[in-house]
Amino acid sequence: MKKPDKDSILRLIADSHSPLTKRDIIAAFDIGGDDRAEVKSILRDLLEEGAIVKTRGQEYTIPRGLPAVAIVEVVEIDLDGDVFAVPAEWNVETQGPPPRVEIVPEEKKGHPALKEKDRALVSLKRYSDKLYEGRVIRRLDDPRGQVMGLLVKQKKGFVLVPSSKRAKHDFDVGDKDLNGARDGDLVVGEIQPARGLARKRVRIIDILGSKDDPKAISLIALHEAGLTEKFPESVIAETKGMTVPDLKGREDLRDYPLVTIDGADARDFDDAVFAQREEDGGYHLIVAIADVSHYVRPGSALDREAYRRGNSTYFPDRVVPMLPEALSNDLCSLRPKENRACMAFHMRIDTNGSLRSYKIVRGIMRSV
């Protein structure tokens, strides 16, 4: 194969759909030995001339090209439902109009479509200077792409000091990324691409309150545990239109005066009980719980989020539920005088308290 020169290497990088490593370039020309050193020398020259740039991942691309992975922001959804975005990190004054990124529809079920102004981390495939294809790696409403901490004003600008002791450094915050936050606020920042920067940057996406707020300790503990009070849109979407089922295949328990035992300020009523003495001196007992499995189906977005949370978490000033409010405080709460789907355990015991018989049923109940 012909020995590569500066023009052929530049053309290879410019025509590539994604940034190339030094190994990719050497492999493309199928060269070895002393010629490898020549390729390295040409790459250094091209970098010094500004004809190419090197990413943090040690890959080469044209100056106006995007890295193989970048954060983008949705700017348009056309009549056909096609989603277009632009790079979140782009300086129009120095780089000109930003390239458009067409987002490839996600194959995974349960992931909601991106909306205008949504941000996502995407892998990119380049078609031209002006057009890329993007595949979503992670939506940035995912807490894994966020950091919580205290906003502090310093001489050179604002920084976010993470609340987590595991954090190794602070994050810079540009004035345009403050979004109304002020010195001393407890905030959540969205981690931004750090291409060519010594320290990572964040964009403030949520202001939780002041560091002097008594609720600050709960907020910090919540975030450090990887919890959030907000549910992904895909989870909320699955609760839309859910209603109490009819009696088909269920036992009608509404004539039993089932009683929930909860505090006066309780919002979620988890279980209900009933006891009645029978003619032989024994007792008929019923314990009923909400039929959560009717609403949360295996493999659904609700199921995955409940599995991730594991349980409802209680703080002194708040509760972070395992399920969205439409379920935890409504359909799966055995509220008085309202029909609710339930799982019920019928038990019959004798005068000595020994179990004589039992039956587990799906039912419809109405607590008193």
Tokens 């659904």 appear where? 300
CA atoms within 13 A on the CB side of 113: 10
CA–CA dist 127, 99 (Å, integer): 10
**pLDDT score at 109:** 46
| pLDDT at 164 > cutoff 70 | yes
Beta pairing partners, 277: 283
**pLDDT score at 110:** 46
CATH 1.10.10.10 positions along the chain are: 6-61
Number of neighbours of residue 143 by Cβ within 10 angstroms? 15
Closest C-alpha to 232, from 111, 120, 129, 134: 111
CATH 2.40.50.700 positions along the chain are: 143-224
Structure confidence at residue 296 as a pLDDT band (50, 70, 90): very high
Burial of 156 (C-beta count, 10 Å sphere; 0-12/13-18/19+): exposed
**pLDDT score at 93:** 61
Contact 189, 173 (CB under 8 A): yes
Beta pairing partners, 171: 160
Domain 6-61 part of CATH 1.10.630.10: no
Structure confidence at residue 32 as a pLDDT band (50, 70, 90): confident
The pLDDT tens digits of the residues spanning 220-278 come to 777 767 677 888 888 999 999 999 999 999 999 999 999 998 766 666 788 999 999 99
**pLDDT score at 143:** 57
Contact 344, 286 (CB under 8 A): yes
CA–CA dist 156, 170 (Å, integer): 13
Mean pLDDT of the chain: 85
**pLDDT score at 216:** 75
CA 208 to chain centroid, in Å, comes to 18
Flag the least confident range among 17-21, 194-198, 267-271, 276-280: 194-198
The pLDDT tens digits of the residues spanning 39-84 come to 888 888 888 766 788 887 788 887 767 877 888 889 888 877 889 9
| pLDDT at 175 > cutoff 90 | no
Query: Residue 214 is which amino acid?
Result: P
With pLDDT > 70 as the criterion, what percentage of the chain qualifies?
89
| pLDDT at 292 > cutoff 90 | yes
**pLDDT score at 277:** 95
Q: What average pLDDT does the segment 347-366 reach?
A: 95
CA–CA dist 192, 208 (Å, integer): 20
**pLDDT score at 201:** 84
The pTM for the full model equals 0.54
34 phi/psi in degrees, rounded to 5: -65, -25
Q: What class is the 69-139 domain?
A: mainly beta
**pLDDT score at 17:** 82
- Reported as type and span, the H/E element at residue 139 is strand 131-139
Domain 143-224 part of CATH 2.40.50.700: yes
The pLDDT tens digits of the residues spanning 84-139 come to 999 887 767 656 788 999 998 865 544 556 777 788 888 899 888 889 999 988 77
Which positions ≥6 away from 86 have C-beta within 8 Å?
Answer: 72, 73, 75, 98, 99, 100, 101
Closest C-alpha to 188, from 213, 209, 158: 209
Rounded alpha-carbon distances, angstroms, from residue 185 to 152, 178, 188, 309? 8, 11, 10, 27
| The two structure tokens encoding residue 150 | 């205290």
Structure confidence at residue 294 as a pLDDT band (50, 70, 90): very high
**pLDDT score at 219:** 76
Structure confidence at residue 144 as a pLDDT band (50, 70, 90): low
Contact 290, 342 (CB under 8 A): yes
